[in-house]
Structure 1
Amino acid sequence: MMDWTDRHCRYLHRILSARTLLYTEMVTSPALVRGGALHLLKFDPSEHPVALQLGGSDPVELARAATLGAEAGYDEINLNCGCPSDRVQSGTFGAVLMKHPELVADCVAAMRAAVDVEVTVKCRIGVDEQEPREVLPDFLERIAAAGCERVTIHARKAWLQGLSPKENRDIPPLDYELVHEMKAAFPQLHLSINGGVQSLDEAEAHLARGLDGVMIGRSAYHTPWDVLAEADARIYGSERETVSPDDAVAAMVPYIERHIATGGRLHQVTRHMLGLFAGRPGARKWRQVLSEKASRDGAGTEVLDEALGRMREAA
């Protein structure tokens, strides 16, 4: 979800759901520790609970990056061992770490020793020619011994050569059963499943079978209201009133105005709002107006008003 789940996206998602755990896009430990890019840690207090997702493979550097994240106020520090991007492979980040479980365990141990907040891991079921039913239990056993108690498993193998990151999200077959088997084998671990889950119905089915959590990425981004608006009631049993798409737009206006007042641009926020009315009459006009006008110089919240009006006319 790099370049997607930035702080503006997370602010919108938190309006829709007060209870779901939000994750940052992956931030590399070198960027924080060597590059001093502390602006990447900024988030709005309303985003809690929110987890910082780190990429890296140096235990010392990751411990320092985790410390910076904890000091910034994140509720969880997550080590990404699942991203198949060439950019992260070259730095020995992401899914390539599935080949080095002992190093991941060292990273987890160093991060846990450095911070009081929970350290978690997101991984694949395996990479390349690995046999998932052999490597995944060993991987989980090693990181659990290092003190990791929460793991999110993307239920696909990653092919680091020959498939693009996009293809790695679609082509390798999903193996949900293996993830459920891992929950039975490691009952002490809080295990969440990721990959291909597109709705709350699907999430509830996995939870009903005994998994502890479900991570939804692209569907929550492209159809945020459909996935998030009823999550508090259906998953957490909350009595919080469901926020309508129109109410979500209204709640975003003060945030957008503050962003613009500090030098930001409208499209930096509204690009995350394109799918808010997905599947509803007039949604195409909503997307069209935002896409065409939000990036113009001087564009302000009047563009939202126009988009809503055009959508209603088309409905």
Structure 2
Amino acid sequence: MDLAATIESNSTLSPSGIARSRRFSVAPMMDWTDRHCRFLHRLLTREALLFTEMVTSAAIVHGDSHRHLRFDAVEQPVALQLGGSDPAELAAATRLAHDAGYAEINLNVGCPSDRVQSGRFGACLMAEPDLVAECVRAMRDVTDRPVTVKCRIGIDDQDTEESLDRFADTMVAAGVDALYVHARKAWLKGLSPKENRTIPPLDYDRVHRLRARLSPLPVMINGGLETLDVAEAEMAHVDGVMLGRAAYHNPMLLAEVDRRFFGATGEPVTLEAIMQDMAAYADRQAAEGVRINNIARHMLGLANGLPGARQFRQIMSVDACKPGADSSVMFRALEAVSRPRLAEAS
């Protein structure tokens, strides 16, 4: 079967709802995109695809799978990102993720950290496409949910034309349902994970060429997309965009996503509504023993650009950590930005 026919055959397995949600997704980010963060993001966008933090297959299979896989149904559609390189273990983790109700299972082939490399997963796997393909096949064998891969355009001294095409073709042959491509190389020696997010130059054109070559396989682009204007412009070349730190540090931009990327016609959600819903969520979580600061830390950027934003952040970061802090912290923070706006209006 040739490449185009293989892609066409695979694409029929992707549920149309997930394919639509991939138009805009929030990237998996370690220590950030936990279930509390995803609850907040879902209040801001009903349509975008949300991702978990990367969770290793070993942690799920041999550890507390309930804790690692737990999520609120309102987060859907939500994808689980797995890290690993053992096909059998990834299959076992995928089976548990399927049973937990995740809408998509994604394999991390892009993280450049030393710790991840030592476990033989993440970006270093771009040098082993046949092993990644074996992993993808094993995962697909145990679920009817889409199995996708997030990768870089290359690593170290790889030729990003030949090596990326070979990697992508191998994924297609394995039955991958979609690719998310960070438009930078990963340098596994000499650069930290933080430096790998900024120093290797962006090459959006390389991702555009890959998408044109692989179409109709969905290809989403990631890396350096700081604004919705830039992200929207990319939609002329790819099937979807993935934002990470820009969405996390300035979450209110997500309130525009449904209108700009999915054709929604309703009014964007307001900061006041978000804070009320998050306070109610915090009360429910507190009843289960969750500390308010574990939720509030994801909300620090909600008031960015508003008068009183600095006091908002201070209340949410400092007061939320105090003993006995509860959801009233959120209302005090809201008042800090509401007072200046009321004063301007009067």
TM-score w.r.t. the length of structure 2 is 0.89
Report which stretch shifted further, 116-125 or 32-41: 32-41
Aligned to 1:129: 157
What is the RMSD computed on CA atoms of the aligned residues?
Answer: 1.0
User: Could you say what secondary structure the match of 2:85 adopts?
Assistant: coil
Tell me the SS of whatever aligns to 1:43.
coil
Tell whether the 8 Å contact from 1:232 to 1:240 is kept in structure 2 after alignment.
no
2:229 and 2:337 map into 1 onto residues whose CA distance is 28
Aligned to 2:142: 114
The answer to whether 1:47 aligns with 2:100 is no
Matched residues in 1 for 2:279 and 2:319: separation?
Answer: 16
Residues 1:225 and 2:252 are matched in the alignment? yes
Which protein has greater RCO, CA pairs closer than 8 Å, 6+ apart? 2
Instruction: Please give the residue correspondences for 1:48-87 in structure 2 after superposition, counting only pairs within 5 Å.
Output: 48-87=76-115
Gaps of 5+ in 1: none
In the alignment, which of 261, 266, 280 is matched to residue 306 of structure 2?
Answer: 280
1:215 aligns with 2:242: yes
| Contact 2:275 2:331 (C-alpha < 8 Å) held by counterparts | no
**What does residue 253 of structure 1 align with?**
279
Instruction: Kindly provide the amino acid, as one letter, of the partner of residue 86 in structure 2.
Output: D
Unaligned runs of 5+ in 2: 1-28, 342-346
Contact 2:181 2:222 in 1 (8 A): yes
Contact 2:225 2:231 in 1 (8 A): yes
Shift of 1:280: 1.6
Contact 2:309 2:336 in 1 (8 A): no
8 Å CA contact 1:101–1:139 kept in 2: the answer is: yes
> Following TM superposition, by how much is the alpha carbon of 1:188 offset from its aligned partner in structure 2, in angstroms?
2.3
1:131-164 Cα shifts (integer Å, max 9, x gaps):
1111100000001000002000000000111111
- 8 A Cα contact 1:54 1:77, kept in partner: yes
Q: State how far apart, in whole Å, the 2-side matches of 1:311 and 1:34 are.
A: 46
User: Is the deviation greater in 185-194 or in 303-312?
Assistant: 303-312
The one-letter amino acid of 1:198's match is: E
Which of 303, 311, 318 pairs up with 1:292?
A: 318
Distance of 1:204 and 1:308 partners within structure 2? 30
Q: Does 1:263 align with 2:279?
A: no
2: CA distance, partners of 1:202 / 1:52:
26
CA distance in 2, matches of 1:242, 1:58: 43
State the partner residue of 2:6. none
The question of whether the paired residues in 2 share the 8 Å contact of 1:285 and 1:314 is answered with no
Q: Which amino acid aligns with 1:219?
A: A
1:142 is aligned to 170
The structural deviation recorded for 1:247 is 1.2
Task: Look up the equivalent residue of 2:210 and give its one-letter code.
Answer: M
2:252 maps to a residue whose letter is: W
Q: Distance in 1 between the 2:39 and 2:133 partners?
A: 33
The one of 174, 178, 185 aligned to 2:206:
178
Q: 2:180 aligns with which of 120, 133, 152?
A: 152
Does the Cα contact within 8 Å between 1:95 and 1:158 map onto a contact in 2? Answer: yes
Cα distance in 1 for partners of 2:209, 2:289 equals: 50
CA distance in 2, matches of 1:199, 1:245: 19
Q: Say which is worse superposed, 42-51 or 231-240, in terms of deviation.
A: 231-240
Contact 1:149/1:188, CA 8 A, preserved across alignment: no
Alpha-carbon distance, 1:2 to partner: 0.4
Q: Percent identity?
A: 55
C-alpha distance in 2 between matches for 1:241 and 1:42: 31
Contact 1:101 1:142 in 2 (8 A): yes
Q: Are the aligned partners of 2:275 and 2:334 in contact in 1 as well (CA < 8 Å)?
A: no
Letter in 2 for 1:100: E
Amino acid across the alignment from 1:153: V
**Is 2:275 the partner of 1:242?**
no
2:219 aligned counterpart, secondary structure: strand
Aligned to 1:164: 192
Q: CA deviation at 1:278?
A: 1.1
Ranges of 4+ aligned residues in structure 1 off by more than 4 Å: none
Query: Where does residue 337 of structure 2 map in the other structure?
Result: 311
Task: Indicate the larger mover: 301-310 or 151-160.
Answer: 301-310
The offset of 1:314, in angstroms, is: 5.2
Rounded to whole Å, the distance in 2 between the matches of 1:283 and 1:124 is 36
SS in 2 for 1:155: strand
Output one character per residue of 1:251-292: Cα deviation in whole Å (capped at 9) or x when no partner.
Answer: 111110011111110000000000011112211110011111
